[in-house]
Amino acid sequence: MKFETILFEKRDHIATITLNRPERLNALNEQMFDELNAALEDVAGDDDVRVMVLTGAGKAFCASADIKDLGPGKGDRLMEGKSSFEAWHFIRTHPQRVTLQLHHMDKPTIAMVNGLAIGDGFDWVLACDIRVGSEHARFMNAFIKMALVSNTGATWLYPRALGMNKALELLYTGDWLEAEESLRLGVLNRLVPAERLEEETMALARQIAEQPPIPNRLVKGMVRRGLNDTLEEHLVEGAEVEVLTLTTEDHKEALAAFKEKRKGVFKGR
């Protein structure tokens, strides 16, 4: 697919997806949904990619759906002329597919939050494993402002990231969540100066990409499932994956590197 609304780059086992409609604060239209889903599918299927970074061009991460595409008499209007079933189908196959692809991605994902993350954008930040933001990062539910309910997972993602009370406050009010409070609440893992955001985020991505990729992929799945497993169920799986990783070439390389006091070089085998 030729990408026009996103930038998609792969380098050194890291895939970077950049929402690229800066003149619209990276607000989402149908083409961007299609391109973003295609890029995420590509990342998921590429065994050479070990880490994915999601960010936005310009001053914003993502300002949710483009209002010009929703308002009467303007733009493409995402839902214009659609029956209730067609609207439901569009939601399931476009915005919700992005959320699910991020959530189910079996590789580490990092949101690099350069500015506003509103509505869908906030949800997709939370759907990533790790979030690094600058002082310009700001988050808002936004759906309540349009008399809507989030369709991209806010009511599932917010409580897990923020706790029930703060989640409901933001969902009810549509208030802004600023960068400093985001760090305190755990929405952001790291808060760095804007001029160092890319440097710090990519350094973290490289650090993860240099680790053995098989354990990282297995750990991610285990953590997700562990939220609903009993400890006994989780320990059974832990034994199974430990036996699996003991058979890998990367484990042998890790042992050799330890004995030889050098940095391991891992191939995902």
pLDDT tens column, 116-160? 999 999 999 999 999 999 999 999 999 998 899 999 999 999 999
Average of per-residue pLDDT across 192-211: 97
Span 242-248, average pLDDT:
94
Taking alpha carbons only, the member of 245, 247, 250, 255 closest to residue 265 is 250
pLDDT of residue 74: 43
pLDDT, tens digit, 9 for 90 and up, residues 17-56:
999 999 999 999 999 999 999 999 999 999 999 999 999 9
Range of weakest confidence among 62-66, 109-113, 236-240, 244-248: 62-66
pLDDT value of residue 66: 83
The answer to whether 52 and 8 are in contact (CB under 8 A) is no
> pLDDT exceeding 70 applies to what percent of the chain?
95
C-alpha distances in Å from residue 95, one per residue of 15, 100, 102, 118, 125: 20, 9, 11, 14, 13
Q: Is the pLDDT of residue 166 over 90?
A: yes
| Average pLDDT score over residue span 256-268 | 90
* Higher pLDDT, residue 263 or 70: 263
Q: How far apart are CA 14 and CA 5, in angstroms?
A: 20
Predicted local confidence at residue 73, as pLDDT: 42
pTM: 0.92
- Encode the chain in three state secondary structure: CCCCCEEEEEECCEEEEEECCHHHCCCECHHHHHHHHHHHHHHHHCCCCCEEEEEECCCEEECCECHHHCCCCCCCCCCCCCCHHHHHHHHHHCHHHHHHHHHHCCCCEEEEECCEEECHHHHHHHHCCEEEECCCCEEECCHHHHCCCCCCCHHHHHHHHHCHHHHHHHHHHCCCEEHHHHHHHCCCCEECCHHHHHHHHHHHHHHHHCCCHHHHHHHHHHHHHHCCCCHHHHHHHHHHHHHHHHCCHHHHHHHHHHHHCCCCCCCCC
Tokens representing 191? 């808060």
Query: What is the structure's pLDDT at 65?
Result: 87
Distance (Å, whole) CA 41 – CA 112: 20
The predicted pLDDT at position 82 comes to 76
- Look at residue 232 in the predicted model and tell me its pLDDT: 95
Average pLDDT, the chain: 93
**Structure confidence at residue 77 (pLDDT):** 56
Of the two residues 250 and 77, the one the predictor is more confident about is 250
**What does the block give as tokens for 81?**
């002329």
Overall average pLDDT of the 159-185 stretch? 96
Asked if 5 contacts 21 with a C-beta cutoff of 8 angstroms, the reply is: yes
pLDDT tens for residues 60-113? 999 998 876 554 444 445 666 678 898 899 999 999 999 999 999 999 999 999
Burial 159-168 (b: 16+ CB within 10 A, else e): eebbeeebbe
Domains of the chain: 6-209 (3.90.226.10), 213-260 (no CATH)
